[in-house]
Amino acid sequence: MNPYLVLSLLLFLVGTTGFIVKKNVLAMFLCVELMLNAANLAFVAFARDLGQLQGQIFVFLVMVVAAAEAAVGLAIMIVLYRRRQTLNPDDADTMKG
Amino acid sequence: MMTELLWLLPLVPLAGAAATGLLGRRLPKRAVTLVAVGASGAAFVLALAAFMELLSLAPGDRRIEREFFTWIAAGDFTAQASLLLDPLSAVMTLVVTGVGFIIHIYSIGYMRAEDGYYRFFAYMNLFLFSMLLLVLAGNFLLMFVGWEGVGLCSYLLIGYDFHRPAAADAGKKAFVVNRIGDVGFILGVLLVFLTFGDLGFGRVFGKIASDPSRFPPEAGVGVLTSIALLLFVGATGKSAQIPLHVWLPDAMEGPTPVSALIHAATMVTAGVYMVVRCAPLFSRAPVALDVVLVVGLATALMAATIGLAQTDIKRVLAYSTVSQLGFMFMAAGAGAFSAGIFHLMTHAFFKALLFLGAGSVIHALSGEQDLRRMGGLRRRIPVTFWTMLVAALAISGIFPLAGFFSKDEILWAAWAGGHPTVWILGLLTAGLTALYMFRLIYLAFFGEPRHAEGVHPHESPRSMTGPLVALAILSAAGGFIGLPAWLGANRFARFLEPSLSLVHRGAVPHFSHALEFAFAALSVAVALAGIFAAHRIYLARPGGAGRIAARWGAIHRLLRDRYRVDEFYDRAVVRPLLGLSERTLWQRVDVGVIDRAVNGAGASILSLGGILRGMQNGLIRSYAAWILAGMAAVLLYLSLLRS
Amino acid sequence: MTLDELFLLIPQWILLAAAAALMLMEPFGRPAGRRRLGLVTVAAVAAAAYALQLQWGLEPRSIAGGMIRIDGFSLFFQWLFLVIAGLSAVLSTDFNQREGIDRGEYYALLLTACSGMSLAAMSEDLILTFIGIEILSLSTYILAGFKRRDIASNEASLKYFLLGSFATAILLYGIALVYGATGSTQYQAIRASAALQGEIPALLLPGLGLLLVGVGFKIGLVPFHSWVPDVYEGAPSPVTAFMAVGPKAAGIAALLRILAEALPGLAPDWTRILWLLAVLTMTLGNAAALVQSNVKRMLAYSAIAQAGYILVGVVVHTREGFTAALFYLVIYTVMSLVAFGVILALSGPGDRRVHLDDYAGLGRRAPYAAAAMGITLLALAGIPLTGGFMGKFFLFGSAVKAGFVGLAVIAVLNSVLSVFYYFRVLVYMYMKEAPGGTTDIDPVSRPVWAILAIGVLLILWLGVSPDRFLALAGYSSLGLK
Amino acid sequence: MDVPFILSWTTYLPAACALLLLALPGASDRALRRIALAGSLAAFVLSLHLVFHFDPFTGRMQFEESVSWIRLPAFEIRHHLGVDGISLFMVLLTTFLTPLVLLSSWRSVTQRVRPFLACILLLETGMIGVFCALDLMLFYVLWEVVLIPMYFLIGIWGGERRLYAAVKFILYTMTGSLLMLVGILYLFFAAGGDTFSLVELVARLESGALGWTSREELWLFLAFGLAFAIKVPLVPLHTWLPDAHVEAPTAGSVILAGVLLKMGAYGLLRFCLPLFPGAALALAPCISVLAVIGILYGALVAMVQPDLKKLVAYSSVSHMGLVVLGIFTFTTPGLEGALVQMVGHGLSTGALFLLVGMLYDRRHTRRIADFGGVAHASPVLAAAFLVVTLSSIALPGLNGFVGEVLILVGSFSRSKVFGTLAAVGMVLGAVYMLRMYQRVFWGPKNPANAGMGDIGTREKVLLLPILLLMLWIGVYPPPFLRRMDASVAGVLRRVESARAPGGSYRVDFMDARGTPGEETK
């Protein structure tokens, strides 16, 4: 098994676990970034394995997407922080049931 | 002529009923009287004409059947609207219309002051219609129509005074108890259809008689016996035999003319008529005949004993009716079908007379029915007294009144048929009959007046006494048409013979006329003994009755309480059934099980919704955990559980 | 990319250009007049629709180097998304003015979302699918939080964003695994390689699993649904209406393409998983909807359950199944838009009157709106003579035909469940009296009326005479090989 | 004279009238009522045409019309209508009762008159359609369509617990009908997937071109039968009925008892027997047991009901049990008896609900204990009630008897035990009906009845046709029976064809052979 893939899997697991464990929306978003990068790593690794260039190009696309996501996400967090003065995701529970 | 117009016979009273019932409320009483009594009179005339026409035929041809239309036809099941006039139905028709007409006339006076006059006569006419339909029906199903129809009229007429709860209850009880019998009847009819593929009397009995290999006289309980027993269940209901006798005494809540017509003379005898009509069938079912015999005897005896201890004049007569009906069934059970019909006819005369007389007494005493508050009426209402005396003697079986001939024939048939026990108990019952009947006569007409202050007994109007006299004549002389063989020829039996030609008859032992005469003398002696005893107890020794009652307290109470059969039914059947329905079926099964299951299914889904609601806790991280869990499950499935 | 291929993408160009124009209109144009922004949006949609209709009848083909497929399926979904965008824009206009959020970005995002959805449906390459879904998602994250002063809207936006990006990451990882297993992200290539190797590559199955999770999140399948009720409730009502139909349809489209075009070889695996997901989705969605008292939230759960029905068509994976799923999507879109249209028309200032109690006695207070809502609810419940029934009929029929009788039985029992809560609204509207002091209903604007009326007529028409739409759906599903 | 599309006219005229009502904005309630009545009367007149031009000598469908409705390449759903001896009188019963129902609500419904009338008329269309439809899908659609107006009738114009009753009604019935939908679909694909036409399917079954395993047939029968059994209702699926009856307005109760329940029994006759004769034969003992339980159970529970409507509702359970028993005798008397009983029950129970409604209008109560002595105040009402009561307890000479005796003949010839138990129901029927009659109408004068008044002209007009029809069926039923003969014979031929030669039909839920397209999970 390709060690890069193992690393990628670990990264992915860290990201998912962190997303559930962390109590700060920023940290959670960072975990998502970890997951995205795990995918990036996998793409690169696979591309190397397959001897293709395609996979490596995908990584750039994903990075762009991640950047856009970050922009949108931060904006949303800021709005919430302004209204609530908190970044704890558990405080956003007005709607439930 | 009449054979073509046979349909008119039931239809005339029906038209009378429709006219009085639908328009009567707006018509003056005279018009109602004219229509209703006229209709019954016309029916009587028609019946007479039919009878005469029948007589004009040779005995073998005395059977006129008319099919008017197919009433119900589905597949191989057909029931015709067919009428059958033969000697048996002709006799019944005459009795029904004759007594009916007399009682209609009587009712003019008796019901004069009633608001529901039109309603009463509408019901009475409807009753005549139903009864004629029952009697003239040419097949089982049409007979059932009449059968239920008379039940309905009985219900309506008992409940005529519907504002009195007792009357309302009695009406309902009569109908329901009758319905129980009717179920037996209809099941019997169904079995007839299944067995013979037909319902017409002529064809069914023809098949029985013509195919002895298929329908031999049965030693045990075969199909014929089953049919007979089922039909007999119907008869016990209609004719108030054990165990369905309980409704008839209560039925006395109806107006007295109703008691006379329906609950004494005609409707209650329908059971006897039906058994005799089915004689070809019954005669091949000895077990059923034995049942009929035993039930008849038991009923006769039981009712006679109860009659001894009743204080309501009409109830005494009601139990007397039950008892006499028992006699008729004894006759049928002993195979003496024509004797049963003979007694039916004479009984119709004298029992109607007794009831009308009782009505007259009650009328005279402004509604008093308790024998203990009567007495000494002999001179105040002489016509009533004398006519009732005739009837009492007749029912007691004193020679040469009508009851003597008919009852004696029954007792003789029991003996001759090889049932000595039945004969002895029958004789005893005859004695008891005389006893309770003269108890009534003595208590009502003799001794000191015991009625309340302010009541001035007076003789009834002529429209009421006229019928009394007419019936008294019939009661006195009616027996002569059926003179026993040792006094001449039994013309009644011979006349009925064509209707009973298909009856299966075993070997009849022959007895000498002298023996028969001796038996007759014995039964008169027993009756006289009964009258004498009544005289001793109720007239000669004041307070004698009280002493006997005190001495035999338990038995007296048992008799007075009518063997507590009603109470037994109430506890054994009515209450358990209501309890079962209310508590078990409705509350427990319907509400407790089915609805709870239905609502529970709903509730469990709602609670599932509640659980989901709880899981939807609004926390992002727990949502993510759900996604992860789902993902884990999917991956697990794909990696491990995949086969 | 040839000119020809550019021509085929003109509808998308129009949408994106209009989006850019709308963004610029506000800072540079005059203060937004009444409905001007909405009008521009609708005009753009109409123009795109016109351009789209020129492609009618073209031979199916792949363009952009095999990344985009132009076929009936693509046309169908582009049409559907255009209709959704256009109607949402109309529904939004009055609402936004009432709530003070009538901004150019709003409409621009609506159009970009529409474009993203179209891409997801047209894409023949996992990466493009991913990008389409991302465009859609980013637009809707913002739209959900567009009422910036509303705490519920903020929270909805945050929840949607966090969970959405989480699911996107999962999806992306799944794509990576599939790429690794097959060496391509292009559907035909994936299909070919999977078929060539005979044995299924080890990483393909986990890849499939992660793809299902990622797309299932977008569609709102249980247990990936938990964001749906909260976000639907918190988002501005027109956005909820849009989200209930648009992203869901896009998710279904992407799922259909992936499963039917790229991974038909794994059909035994994904049918079983989707069978279970469909059952869970229907049952739990309905069960949770039973206990809701907020109509918007109830409809959110109902939307989850409806997705379960649609999934039946995917599980069946026959021509009939795909056709029925597409057909049901059309009906579902109409029903949802009308239902949310009534809700937002009645919700009053602040979007507050969305509780069942607010609907008490509506039959008298606002007979027409109540009638529109009533017919729509009947349709959602699947009562005959409405499109909802016809849709379910063909869905369940396809299931029965393919031998999924058990699934059909579960689905109809779920329909019975759903009757309970759909009819509960009817009970409130027609069988309860309004409590005293209920305020009057705001007048509903003409364009919204028109949409509601057309929607109701369409629901009835589809219920009585579905032949044409069914034929259209059948033609479109031909694209799935 | 041959009127084209006579069935469509009859069926859709009421619906058209309903739309007209909804489209007339300014009309007064009075005008609306008149329009509705005129529409329903017109439908009745049209349905009379059916009777007069009905050919009693053929068992085939008559007045058939068939138009393509939904056409797809693979198959089409046709708008296929037709009547035969089985459906003819059901149609007539519907068109006969609807004007009376409208008339009965003349004064008692004053709120939301327009939608009320529209609901009744839509119901009529649905009901007539159900009885005429020969395409399974068309049948299903109309079957469901009937539910909605009924739901509103109960829910809007009903009594205190109307919401509970309405929801219970709709959930109960939809559970059954949706499973039937699955059954229809399965049947459709099993039959080749190209036609929903009942006539065509039966023809294929008869010719042997179509057949199924006994396991398939049994499940199909159950899928159809459940929907019908709930509607009938067969114990233990009956608990929706008392609630629905009690809470529905008079008009709703009359239609519910008079026609809607018949849809269940009709469905059994029209679909279950011809399509799945083998399963019908196999399950007949079980169903007959349930039917007999229903007869006795309904009667016993009716006996102890304190509420007039509930009593009548449980009596319906009892009477409809008898109908089902008759159907599953597979004998001509049984089936024709069931049909007559369906018509008869529609008349007598419909009339009972009308009368109870009249009592309610006057006294605003339905508790039996609150009444007593009503006959003093309203003798004509009491008399009419009596006649209806007697018809309900199957007094000879009235409609109830003909049906009941035929059913008894049929069932007794199949099984003496069932026949006997069913006959026992006659006693219980008399008990609860007469008990109720006595407690309501008889007894001493009651001051509470002071202001009651007797029935007026409108109410007389309402009752008279029903009473006359009762009498007619009771006294001279051949015109009815004759028209049923050929069709009933056709159904029985189908059933008999499934009887294995020389052996009873095998109950086999777990046939070794699987169904086509084994479930993948």
Question: Which helix (H) or strand (E) is B184 found in, with range?
Answer: helix B165-196
CB contact at 8 A, B414 and B426? yes
Instruction: Read off the DSSP letter of residue C431.
Output: I
User: Do C403 and D185 make contact, defined as CB atoms within 8 angstroms?
Assistant: no
Q: Give Rg (Cα) of chain B.
A: 31
B572 Cβ contact partners less than 8 Å away, ≥ 6 residues apart:
none
Which residue has 């009433």 as its token pair? B71
| pLDDT one-digit tens code per residue, A7-23 | 999 999 999 999 999 99
Across the interface, of B73, B74, B152, the residue whose CB is closest to D395 is B152
Say whether domain A3-87 belongs to CATH 1.10.287.3510.
yes
Compute the distance between CA of residue B431 and CA of residue B505 in angstroms, rounded to an integer: 31
Residues of D in contact with C409 (CB under 8 A): 179, 182
> Phi and psi of B73, rounded to 5°?
-145, 120
Q: Taking 60 as the threshold, does the pLDDT of residue B496 lie above it?
A: yes
User: Do D477 and B145 make contact, defined as CB atoms within 8 angstroms?
Assistant: no
Please report all neighbours of A, defined by 3+ CB atom pairs within 8 A: B, C
CB contact at 8 A, D156 and D183? no
In sequence order, what DSSP letters do the residues of C12-48 get, joined into one string?
HHHHHHHHHHHHHHHHHSSSP-TTHHHHHHHHHHHHH
Query: Residues of chain B with pLDDT > 70: what percent?
Result: 99
Q: Is C416 on the interface with D (CB under 8 A)?
A: yes
Joined tokens for residue C142:
């913002």
| pLDDT one-digit tens code per residue, B75-88 | 889 999 999 999 99
Distances (CA, A) of A20 to A32, A81, C207, D157, D267: 11, 20, 22, 53, 57
Work out whether the CA dihedral C358, C363, C367, C368 comes out positive or negative.
positive
Compute the distance between CA of residue C472 and CA of residue C459 in angstroms, rounded to an integer: 16
Confidence band of B511 (pLDDT split at 50, 70, 90): confident
**Coarse DSSP helix, strand, coil percentages of chain A, rounded to the nearest 5 percent:** 80, 0, 20
User: Do C223 and B602 make contact, defined as CB atoms within 8 angstroms?
Assistant: no
Residue B431 has a pLDDT of 92
Question: Which helix (H) or strand (E) is D82 found in, with range?
Answer: strand D76-83
Compute the mean pLDDT over every residue in chain A, rounded to the nearest whole number. 91
Residues of C in contact with D185 (CB under 8 A): 393, 396-397, 400-401, 408
CB contact at 8 A, C445 and C331? no
Q: Which residue has the higher pLDDT, D517 or B368?
A: B368
Residue of A nearest to C161 (CA): A73
Residue A1 has a pLDDT of 63
Q: Is D519 on the interface with C (CB under 8 A)?
A: yes
Select the residue from B129, B141, B155, B172 to test the D interface by mutation, using most D Cβ atoms within 10 A.
Answer: B172
Compute the distance between CA of residue B22 and CA of residue B35 in angstroms, rounded to an integer: 12
| pLDDT one-digit tens code per residue, B130-143 | 999 999 999 999 99
For residue B56, count CB atoms less than 10 angstroms from its CB and return exposed for 0-12, middle for 13-18, buried for 19 or more.
exposed
Residue A53 has a pLDDT of 87
CA atoms within 13 A on the CB side of D373: 14
Distance, in angstroms, between B611 CA and closest chain C CA? 8
| pLDDT one-digit tens code per residue, B228-278 | 999 999 999 999 998 899 999 999 998 999 999 988 889 999 999 999 999
Across the interface, of A21, A23, A93, the residue whose CB is closest to B618 is A93
Residue D517 has a pLDDT of 37
Residues of B in contact with D477 (CB under 8 A): 71-72
Which residue has 């869970």 as its token pair? C280
CB contact at 8 A, D120 and D101? yes
> Which of B302, B303, B291 lies closest to B329, judged by CA?
B291
| pLDDT one-digit tens code per residue, D175-222 | 999 999 999 999 999 888 888 999 999 999 888 888 788 889 999 999
Residue C301 has a pLDDT of 95
| pLDDT one-digit tens code per residue, C308-326 | 999 999 999 998 899 999 9
User: Do C227 and B623 make contact, defined as CB atoms within 8 angstroms?
Assistant: yes
Compute the distance between CA of residue D6 and CA of residue C390 in angstroms, rounded to an integer: 27
Q: Give Rg (Cα) of chain D.
A: 22
Residues of C in contact with D167 (CB under 8 A): 420, 423-424, 427
Distances (CA, A) of D86 to B184, B437, C454, D54, D482: 32, 61, 42, 12, 11
Touching, A vs D (3+ Cβ pairs under 8 A): no
Residue of A nearest to C293 (CA): A97
Compute the mean pLDDT over every residue in chain B, rounded to the nearest whole number. 89
Question: Which helix (H) or strand (E) is C470 found in, with range?
Answer: helix C467-477
Range in C78-82, C127-131, C347-351, D157-161 with the lowest mean pLDDT: C347-351
Residue B486 has a pLDDT of 67
In sequence order, what DSSP letters do the residues of B99-124 get, joined into one string?
HHHHHHHHHHHHTTT-TTHHHHHHHH
Task: Answer yes or no: pTM beyond 0.95.
Answer: no
Distance, in angstroms, between A89 CA and closest chain B CA? 6
Work out whether the CA dihedral D444, D449, D452, D455 comes out positive or negative.
negative
Instruction: Read off the DSSP letter of residue B163.
Output: T
User: Do A89 and B613 make contact, defined as CB atoms within 8 angstroms?
Assistant: no
Residue C27 has a pLDDT of 67
Beta carbon pairs, B and D, within 8 Å: 134
User: Do B623 and C420 make contact, defined as CB atoms within 8 angstroms?
Assistant: no
Mean pLDDT throughout C385-412?
A: 94
Which residue has 């997901």 as its token pair? C277
Distance, in angstroms, between B606 CA and closest chain A CA? 13
Q: Which residue has the higher pLDDT, C434 or D10?
A: D10
Residue B26 has a pLDDT of 87
Compute the distance between CA of residue D231 and CA of residue D239 in angstroms, rounded to an integer: 11
Question: Which helix (H) or strand (E) is D68 found in, with range?
Answer: strand D62-71
What value of ipTM does the predicted structure carry?
Answer: 0.91
Select the residue from C160, C161, C193 to test the A interface by mutation, using most A Cβ atoms within 10 A.
Answer: C161
**Helix ranges, D447-509 (H):** 457-475, 478-498
CB contact at 8 A, B231 and B272? no
Q: Is B74 on the interface with A (CB under 8 A)?
A: no
| pLDDT one-digit tens code per residue, B304-325 | 999 988 889 999 999 999 999 9
Q: Which residue has the higher pLDDT, D502 or C61?
A: C61
Distance, in angstroms, between B578 CA and closest chain D CA? 7
Query: Residues of chain C with pLDDT > 70: what percent?
Result: 96
Q: Is the backbone peptide bond immediately before D115 cis, with ω within 30 degrees of 0? A: no
In sequence order, what DSSP letters do the residues of B547-580 get, joined into one string?
HHHHHTHHHHHHHHTGGGHHHHHIIIIIHHHHHI
Pairing of strands B64-74, B77-85: antiparallel
> Phi and psi of D268, rounded to 5°?
-60, -45
Residue B1 has a pLDDT of 60
Joined tokens for residue C388:
């909802």
Compute the distance between CA of residue B517 and CA of residue B258 in angstroms, rounded to an integer: 38
Q: Domain boundaries in chain C?
A: 1-262, 267-481
Compute the distance between CA of residue C101 and CA of residue B54 in angstroms, rounded to an integer: 107
Distances (CA, A) of B234 to B331, B499, C343: 18, 21, 70
Compute the distance between CA of residue B613 and CA of residue B615 in angstroms, rounded to an integer: 5
What is the full per-residue pLDDT of chain D (521 aa) written as tens digits? 577 889 999 999 999 999 999 888 788 889 999 999 999 999 999 999 999 999 999 888 999 999 999 887 777 899 999 999 999 999 999 999 999 999 999 888 888 899 999 999 999 999 999 999 999 999 999 999 999 999 999 999 988 889 999 999 999 999 999 999 999 999 999 888 888 999 999 999 888 888 788 889 999 999 999 999 999 999 889 999 999 999 999 999 999 999 999 999 999 999 999 999 999 999 999 999 999 999 999 999 999 999 999 999 999 999 999 999 999 999 999 999 999 999 999 999 999 999 999 999 888 889 999 998 899 888 899 999 999 999 999 999 999 999 999 999 999 999 899 999 999 988 899 999 999 999 999 988 888 888 888 888 999 999 999 999 999 999 999 999 999 999 999 999 999 888 765 444 444 443 333 333 333 33
